[in-house]
Chains A and B, each alone.
Chain A
């Protein structure tokens, strides 16, 4: 079931479009990654969905809500660089925003306490936010975005600015949250998207250029790739490998021969046969699955 249906959404800043004619749907209960390079229009899209920006044209429809109703109670939003009231403590901030979302005082206190524990800030609950580290602020940001239990949680680059430990914490948290709500998060780090998302939206120059579940996209952009390592000059073997019938393309990158092939089984046979009969000094042979990065590069280029 589609929770959000976006149709022909456009946003122009001083006539240059940040997002143009974008349409997509968010399926209820899924974790969707919005992927794209910097400047692709991810933040603008999220801000329009959250109501912070008004679309130049197009519609955003939330399931079961009329066009003009206040959707803010049903969404949670974490900006890329969340800024808090520095003079508040983490707990005070959570209680404050949940009171703004019309929760009763005891309920607000209860949820703030639970959430602070869940995001690992229980010990810092009564410290001023000005003393928080970047990772702590990000986790507090996620907590404030979900404290009123929205149907849709939107996170703008939730892990991009974090160190490896903070990144791991947040990704684990998102993995848990997937059970309770629909999540839409943007990232330009493809590995993060690969890790937690069920579906991806690829965005490039203001347009969604590809979308679907990870499995579907893998299938669609399935290119088998083999990486070969040799002792000696790679260029001597590049020609020989390229000459094999099942090989589409072959290039050298960082002392590794990257071979794109049509049919993995046939190609593996060809290469290994040639290698053994001609006694190639192979040092490594690795089969690669299509990574998100490959898909992305392909989709952008096509």
Chain B
């Protein structure tokens, strides 16, 4: 099956260019960085020479939910950057180098081509993100208190959807422009712009994908899935589908050589 051939090639490529090593490592690092530094802050301060004896430091008591949000906070900024960087050349780079001239004169379906690229990036993103959150979950249970595995799965599901949207945005820009750097820039700019629009029009954009992490916090504290989270998840899913088909459409319109 052609789709499988394309998908397999992406997997092998990402293994050989060690994306399957560095992306998970960076994600794990991002996930455990804040929980660990916050937990060990007193020791870190001591090691750095300590504070004057009469200083009183009141360190907040973190709940497991707060710590999850620390990890997600890192993914919202640095994680987006990592995804934008790892996916920026996935199609545009092939067009820029000219290798797509060889591939796309073969009877390759554009739908297969785009969705195989998307799926390979989605898989890498989800695996790396899950590994990161598993590491974070491990330290949460060890250092901050119990968080159920069910809750972790819910976080993975909903936040994973948000990350897939970023992958889809990047794929879309990949079909639109030919310069990998520009793809990364446009992806990050779009995510930031969406955040800005969501903040400004917060009263009408309750189901904006950018609010998923806010609702996840609600979910963790109340223990039940807020209806707004379901709404935002559905909107995100629709946007992903729309972006994938939009990518196929723009790619079909494009001339493959220049």
Contact = CB atoms under 8 A, between A and B. Distances in A.
Contacts of A97: 102-103, 106
A82 interface: yes
A52 B257 contact: yes
B99 A52 contact: no
B153 to A, nearest CB: 35
A102 B107 contact: yes
Contact of A47 (B9, B13, B16, B257): B257
Nearest to B9: A96
A83 B106 contact: no
A52 B105 contact: yes
A53 B255 contact: yes
B144 to A, nearest CB: 43
Nearest to B108: A100
B107 A87 contact: no
A83 B102 contact: yes
Contact of A52 (B2, B16, B256): B256
Interface string A80-115: 011111010000000011011110000000000000
B2 A144 contact: no
Contacts of A99: 2, 5
A185 interface: no
B175 to A, nearest CB: 16
Interface stretch (A20-28, A69-77, A194-202, A228-236): A69-77
Given A52-B256, A99-B5, A83 B107 contact: no
B107 A101 contact: yes
A51 interface: yes
Nearest to A87: B16
Interface string B221-258: 00000000000000000000000000000000001110
Interface in A44-70: 47, 50-54, 70
A52 B107 contact: no
A168 to B, nearest CB: 24
A76 to B, nearest CB: 8
B6 interface: yes
A54 B97 CA distance: 20
B242 to A, nearest CB: 25
A148 B257 CA distance: 22
Contact of B17 (A54, A82, A84, A87): A87
A172 B108 CA distance: 31
Contacts of B98: 79, 81-83
Contacts of A102: 2, 107
B104 interface: yes
Contacts of A76: 105
Given A47-B257, A99-B2, A52 B101 contact: yes
Contacts of A54: 255
Nearest to A85: B99
A73 B105 contact: no
B180 to A, nearest CB: 15
Interface string B14-56: 0011000000000000000000000000000000000000000
Given A83-B97, A87-B13, A100-B107, A144 B102 contact: yes
Given A81-B98, A83-B98, A87-B17, A100 B103 contact: yes
Nearest to B257: A52
Given A52-B105, A148-B106, A100 B2 contact: yes
Contacts of A83: 97-99, 101-102
Contacts of B99: 83-85
A83 B97 CA distance: 7
A72 B106 contact: yes
Interface string B90-128: 000000011101111111100000000000000000000
B89 to A, nearest CB: 13
A129 to B, nearest CB: 10
Interface in B71-88: none
Contacts of A85: 9, 13, 99
Contacts of B105: 50-52, 72, 75-77
Given A83-B99, A85-B13, A87-B17, A52 B104 contact: yes
A85 B14 CA distance: 12
Contacts of B2: 99-100, 102
A100 B9 CA distance: 11
A73 B107 CA distance: 5
16 contacts: A72-B108, A77-B105, A79-B101, A79-B102, A79-B257, A82-B102, A84-B99, A84-B102, A85-B13, A85-B99, A99-B2, A99-B5, A100-B5, A100-B6, A100-B103, A101-B106
Given A73-B107, A82-B98, 9 more contacts: A52-B256, A53-B255, A53-B257, A72-B105, A79-B102, A83-B101, A84-B102, A101-B107, A148-B106
Interface of A: 47, 50-54, 70, 72-73, 75-77, 79, 81-85, 87, 96-97, 99-102, 141, 144, 148
